[in-house]
Amino acid sequence: MVVGTVGCGKTTIMNVLTDALFEIGIPHKLNRMNPKSITGQEMYGMMNTVTGEWFPGVFSEIWKKCNDKKNK
């Protein structure tokens, strides 16, 4: 995760890192999202206090998909 103010170089840092990973033979894909466009619960997930059921958020689902060994 890269965070910072506008114009501080976040995109450049991620592009350089991604290029470096490809150069050493480690393919890498960036997943970008704008956290200001959704609530914290929509991003990370939330627990239903009545049923105790967990509802994953967008970030949780992306993280799960990217780390699923079956997809590699």
Residue 70: exposure state from Cβ atoms within 10 A (0-12, 13-18, ≥19) = exposed
pLDDT category of residue 71 using cuts at 50, 70 and 90: low
For the chain, domain boundaries? 1-30, 31-72
Residue range 2-35, pLDDT digits in tens: 888 999 999 899 999 989 999 999 887 777 777 7
Residue range 30-67, pLDDT digits in tens: 777 777 788 888 888 999 999 999 999 988 888 888 78
b/e map 24-40, b = 16+ CB within 10 Å: eeeeeeeeeeeeeeeee
57 token code pair: 């958020």
